[in-house]
């Protein structure tokens, strides 16, 4: 049986999967079983924040794995406490952290905090959460309902929890608020929706308004967090103080971890929320190693050098191939090329893979780039050389 046959026979076919089989990774290069090299501009959808085979991360994981991988949350866990402190200090916000295992789970935690806040702080219960069209918040029954894309709300999985509504734009949120609204949940740069950043002033104005109405601002930083947009959090870049922030993708460098942090530390008490695996020795040790690596690169200005270099390359491509792309979009190392149409988007992604460079899809017509934050200039150069080769005949 081939690997493809095995996968098709035994794995539930929930992904429209490609059968390139990677067997080795070094930095931002992946190798398939034939030895062919691919420049990785996707990093496992923004997860491999420090690339493949990073020595500091892998040795931290190995060392921890040889000792304790997991206990339970019934005892205190040193790397969990340290990682919570590190995240809070890097964020600059006075918050407390709860650890989960994924982005969807982090958002579930955020919604639970908001719901309890709405239940306990007001005379009349507030429970409604407003999100935006084209948003993406996860695949659990609740977070898929929070996701502002109708095609995700298929009747297959109904009934969904009540209390979610979607607005076309930030400007529309104001009118959608009623006396049962407890929170507004947004991404500052919509990732899956098409790498679409919001205007800073617009977000600041909304944050101020919500604060004046005692409505919570939840920022889903599952994709934008952990230096992806150039600052530790996109919330730092936008200079806002959200009530609740969620993290996941880049935080563990590939080890599953999610986190929800809030300044309303008193809302959840013992028994309100929990997770068997969340915040265990292995994942929080990985998180600490990732933040150690990235904090240092950030302090030395390397991350901003990298994203300026990457952005320049993308701008050149966007103007040289204006027959294929309308513009370059995104922030930091969360970037996209807005293709003229979905057909071009699909061909660009497929041709790129054939030429040995991995790029992603986002929204209906965006080619997305989420390289590792440790990617080298030589890897960026090589990746774009291959990318041009892949698209110049289209
Ligand atoms: C990926 C993503 C999620 C879901 O994360 P999972 O780990 O797949 O559950 C939620 N929100 C945003 C903004 C994301 O990019």
> In testing the pocket of ligand 1, which one of 48, 99, 138 has its CB within 8 Å of the most ligand atoms?
138
| pLDDT on residue 181 | 98
Q: Which two tokens stand for residue 104?
A: 């969807």
Is the C-beta atom of 142 inside 6 A of ligand 1? no
Residue corresponding to tokens 């607005």: 167
Is the C-beta atom of 103 inside 6 A of ligand 1? yes
Q: What is the mean pLDDT of residues 86-93?
A: 98
209 pLDDT tier (thresholds 50, 70, 90): very high
Going by C-beta distance under 8 Å and a sequence separation of 6 or more, which residues neighbour residue 174?
206, 209
> In testing the pocket of ligand 1, which one of 223, 257, 275, 363 has its CB within 8 Å of the most ligand atoms?
223
Q: Alpha-carbon distance 196 to 192, whole Å?
A: 9
pLDDT in tens, 37-85: 999 999 999 999 999 999 999 999 999 999 999 999 999 999 999 999 9
> 182 CA to middle of ligand 1, Å?
22
Going from the N-terminus, what domains does the chain have, and what CATH number goes with each? 3-53+301-391 (3.90.1150.10), 68-299 (3.40.640.10)
| pLDDT on residue 279 | 98
| pLDDT on residue 55 | 98
Q: Alpha-carbon distance 387 to 347, whole Å?
A: 12
- Look at phi and psi of residue 133 and say left if phi exceeds 0, alpha if psi is from -120 to 50, else beta: beta
364 pLDDT tier (thresholds 50, 70, 90): very high
| pLDDT on residue 156 | 95
> 48 CA to middle of ligand 1, Å?
14
Q: How many helices (H) and strands (E) does the chain have?
A: 13, 17
pLDDT in tens, 145-165: 999 999 999 999 999 999 999
Q: What is the pTM of this model?
A: 0.98
> 127 CA to middle of ligand 1, Å?
22
Q: What is the mean pLDDT of residues 206-220?
A: 98
């Amino acid at each position: 049986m081939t690997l493809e046959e095995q996968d098709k026979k035994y794995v539930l076919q929930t992904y429209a999967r490609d059968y390139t089989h990677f067997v080795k990774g070094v930095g931002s290069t992946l190798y398939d079983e034939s030895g062919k090299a691919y420049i990785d501009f996707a990093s496992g959808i923004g997860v491999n924040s420090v690339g493949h085979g990073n020595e500091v991360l892998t040795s931290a994981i190995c060392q921890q794995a040889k000792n304790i991988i997991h206990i339970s949350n019934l005892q205190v866990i040193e790397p969990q406490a340290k990682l919570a402190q590190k995240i809070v200090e890097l964020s600059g916000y006075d918050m407390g952290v709860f650890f989960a295992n994924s982005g969807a789970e982090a958002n579930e935690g955020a919604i639970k905090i908001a719901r309890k806040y709405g239940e306990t702080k007001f005379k009349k219960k507030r429970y409604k959460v407003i999100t935006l069209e084209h948003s993406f918040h996860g695949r659990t029954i609740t977070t898929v309902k929070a996701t502002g894309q109708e095609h995700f709300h298929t009747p297959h999985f109904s009934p969904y929890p009540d209390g979610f509504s979607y607005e076309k734009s930030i400007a529309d949120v104001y009118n959608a608020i009623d006396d049962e609204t407890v929170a507004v949940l947004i991404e500052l740069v919509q990732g899956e929706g098409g790498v679409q950043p919001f205007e800073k002033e617009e977000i600041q104005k909304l944050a101020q308004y919500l604060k004046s109405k005692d409505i919570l601002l939840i920022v889903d930083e599952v994709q934008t967090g952990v230096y992806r947009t150039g600052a530790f959090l996109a919330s730092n870049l936008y200079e806002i103080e959200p009530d609740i922030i969620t993290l996941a993708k880049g935080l563990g460098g590939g080890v599953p971890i999610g986190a929800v942090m809030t300044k309303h530390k008193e809302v959840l008490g013992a028994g309100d929320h929990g997770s068997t695996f969340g915040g265990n020795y292995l994942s929080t040790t990985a998180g600490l190693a990732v933040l150690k690596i990235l904090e240092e690169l950030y302090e030395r200005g390397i991350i901003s050098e990298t994203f300026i270099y990457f952005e320049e390359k993308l701008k050149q491509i966007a103007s040289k191939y204006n027959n294929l792309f309308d513009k370059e979009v995104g922030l930091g190392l969360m970037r996209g090329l807005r293709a003229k149409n979905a057909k071009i988007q699909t061909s660009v992604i497929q041709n790129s893979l054939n030429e040995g460079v991995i790029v992603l899809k986002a929204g209906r017509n965006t080619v997305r780039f989420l390289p590792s934050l440790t990617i080298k200039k030589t890897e960026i150069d090589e990746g774009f050389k291959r990318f041009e080769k892949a698209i110049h005949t289209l």
